Amino acid sequence: MKRAYTDEHAASGVSAPLPEIETWPNQYREPYEIEIDMPEFTSVCPKTGLPDFGKILLRYVPNRRCLELKSYKMYLLAYRNLGIFQENAVNRILRDVVKYAAPRSATVIGDFTPRGGLGTIVTATWNAKRGKR
Protein backbone atom coordinates (compact mmCIF):
# COMPACT_ATOMS: atom_id res chain seq x y z
CA MET A 1 0.00 0.00 0.00
CA LYS A 2 1.37 3.40 -0.98
CA ARG A 3 1.71 5.97 1.81
CA ALA A 4 -0.54 8.92 1.11
CA TYR A 5 1.00 11.21 3.74
CA THR A 6 4.62 12.27 3.57
CA ASP A 7 7.08 13.48 6.18
CA GLU A 8 6.67 16.94 4.61
CA HIS A 9 2.94 16.81 5.37
CA ALA A 10 3.69 15.85 8.97
CA ALA A 11 6.15 18.75 9.45
CA SER A 12 4.01 21.33 7.65
CA GLY A 13 3.28 24.44 9.71
CA VAL A 14 5.29 23.37 12.77
CA SER A 15 7.99 26.01 12.19
CA ALA A 16 6.01 28.50 10.10
CA PRO A 17 6.32 32.15 11.14
CA LEU A 18 3.30 33.35 13.11
CA PRO A 19 2.53 36.65 14.86
CA GLU A 20 3.96 37.13 18.34
CA ILE A 21 1.55 36.96 21.26
CA GLU A 22 1.78 40.09 23.39
CA THR A 23 1.57 39.91 27.18
CA TRP A 24 1.03 42.30 30.08
CA PRO A 25 2.16 42.14 33.73
CA ASN A 26 0.05 39.98 36.03
CA GLN A 27 -1.05 42.05 39.03
CA TYR A 28 -1.71 39.08 41.34
CA ARG A 29 0.67 36.55 42.86
CA GLU A 30 -1.95 34.11 44.12
CA PRO A 31 -2.70 31.44 41.49
CA TYR A 32 -5.87 31.80 39.41
CA GLU A 33 -6.96 30.26 36.12
CA ILE A 34 -7.78 32.01 32.86
CA GLU A 35 -9.84 30.26 30.19
CA ILE A 36 -9.90 31.56 26.61
CA ASP A 37 -12.26 30.01 24.08
CA MET A 38 -11.91 30.36 20.28
CA PRO A 39 -15.06 28.67 18.92
CA GLU A 40 -14.27 29.34 15.24
CA PHE A 41 -10.70 28.11 14.77
CA THR A 42 -9.70 27.28 11.20
CA SER A 43 -6.56 25.76 9.72
CA VAL A 44 -5.83 23.81 6.53
CA CYS A 45 -5.04 20.12 6.06
CA PRO A 46 -1.53 20.08 4.54
CA LYS A 47 -2.33 17.09 2.33
CA THR A 48 -5.79 17.84 0.97
CA GLY A 49 -5.82 21.63 1.26
CA LEU A 50 -9.30 21.40 2.81
CA PRO A 51 -10.15 23.55 5.81
CA ASP A 52 -10.22 22.09 9.31
CA PHE A 53 -12.73 23.70 11.66
CA GLY A 54 -12.78 23.42 15.40
CA LYS A 55 -12.80 25.00 18.81
CA ILE A 56 -9.59 25.87 20.65
CA LEU A 57 -9.79 26.13 24.42
CA LEU A 58 -6.81 27.48 26.35
CA ARG A 59 -6.68 27.18 30.13
CA TYR A 60 -3.68 28.63 31.88
CA VAL A 61 -2.51 29.77 35.30
CA PRO A 62 -0.47 32.94 34.77
CA ASN A 63 2.81 33.55 36.48
CA ARG A 64 4.28 37.01 35.84
CA ARG A 65 2.59 37.66 32.47
CA CYS A 66 -0.95 37.40 31.06
CA LEU A 67 -1.82 37.00 27.39
CA GLU A 68 -3.16 40.08 25.66
CA LEU A 69 -6.40 38.86 24.10
CA LYS A 70 -6.38 40.76 20.81
CA SER A 71 -2.86 39.63 19.93
CA TYR A 72 -3.76 36.04 20.90
CA LYS A 73 -6.80 36.30 18.62
CA MET A 74 -4.64 37.59 15.74
CA TYR A 75 -2.17 34.76 16.39
CA LEU A 76 -4.97 32.16 16.15
CA LEU A 77 -6.38 33.80 13.00
CA ALA A 78 -2.98 33.34 11.33
CA TYR A 79 -3.68 29.58 11.24
CA ARG A 80 -6.55 30.23 8.81
CA ASN A 81 -4.31 29.71 5.75
CA LEU A 82 -1.65 27.53 7.39
CA GLY A 83 -1.28 23.91 6.33
CA ILE A 84 -0.86 22.04 9.62
CA PHE A 85 -2.22 18.84 11.11
CA GLN A 86 -4.69 19.30 13.95
CA GLU A 87 -2.38 17.60 16.45
CA ASN A 88 0.48 19.88 15.45
CA ALA A 89 -1.70 23.00 15.69
CA VAL A 90 -2.66 22.22 19.31
CA ASN A 91 0.93 21.49 20.31
CA ARG A 92 2.23 24.57 18.47
CA ILE A 93 -0.30 26.81 20.23
CA LEU A 94 0.75 25.40 23.60
CA ARG A 95 4.44 25.84 22.77
CA ASP A 96 3.92 29.47 21.76
CA VAL A 97 1.77 30.32 24.80
CA VAL A 98 4.52 28.92 27.04
CA LYS A 99 7.17 30.82 25.07
CA TYR A 100 5.47 34.22 25.37
CA ALA A 101 3.68 34.06 28.74
CA ALA A 102 5.73 31.50 30.75
CA PRO A 103 2.63 30.45 32.75
CA ARG A 104 2.62 28.24 35.84
CA SER A 105 0.64 25.72 33.80
CA ALA A 106 -1.27 25.60 30.52
CA THR A 107 -3.57 23.24 28.65
CA VAL A 108 -4.77 23.59 25.06
CA ILE A 109 -7.72 21.52 23.86
CA GLY A 110 -8.57 21.35 20.18
CA ASP A 111 -12.04 19.97 19.50
CA PHE A 112 -12.21 19.59 15.72
CA THR A 113 -15.43 19.29 13.72
CA PRO A 114 -16.08 15.83 12.28
CA ARG A 115 -15.25 15.31 8.65
CA GLY A 116 -16.14 12.02 6.99
CA GLY A 117 -17.68 10.85 10.26
CA LEU A 118 -14.55 11.32 12.39
CA GLY A 119 -14.07 14.04 14.97
CA THR A 120 -10.81 14.68 16.80
CA ILE A 121 -10.09 16.06 20.26
CA VAL A 122 -6.43 16.85 20.95
CA THR A 123 -5.20 17.89 24.42
CA ALA A 124 -1.69 19.16 25.20
CA THR A 125 -0.58 20.19 28.70
CA TRP A 126 2.47 21.96 30.15
CA ASN A 127 3.45 22.55 33.78
CA ALA A 128 6.29 24.84 34.93
CA LYS A 129 7.09 22.56 37.89
CA ARG A 130 7.83 19.74 35.50
CA GLY A 131 9.16 22.09 32.83
CA LYS A 132 7.69 19.98 30.09
CA ARG A 133 4.54 18.51 28.64
Q: What per-residue confidence (pLDDT) applies to 2? A: 62
Sheet-wide strand order for 51-61:
34-44, 51-61, 105-115, 118-127
State the Cα angle at 69 between 67 and 56, rounded to 5°: 90
Q: What per-residue confidence (pLDDT) applies to 17? A: 96
- pLDDT of the chain, 133 residues: tens digit per residue: 566 778 888 888 999 999 999 999 999 999 999 999 999 999 999 988 999 999 999 999 999 999 999 999 999 999 999 999 999 999 999 999 999 999 999 999 999 998 778 899 999 999 988 765 5
Q: What per-residue confidence (pLDDT) applies to 132? A: 56
Rounded CA-CA distance 87/110 in Å is 8
List the one residue out of 85, 18, 19, 102 whose CA is nearest residue 50. 85
Q: Which of 45, 66, 96, 111 is catalytic?
A: 45
Q: Which of 7, 37, 52, 66 is catalytic?
A: 52
List the one residue out of 18, 22, 37 whose CA is nearest residue 75. 18
Concatenate the DSSP letters of all residues of 64-111 into one string: SEEE-HHHHHHHHHGGGG-B--HHHHHHHHHHHHHHHH--SEEEEEEE
**52 among known catalytic residues:** yes
**66 among known catalytic residues:** no
CB-count exposure of residue 92 (10 Å: 0-12, 13-18, 19+)? buried
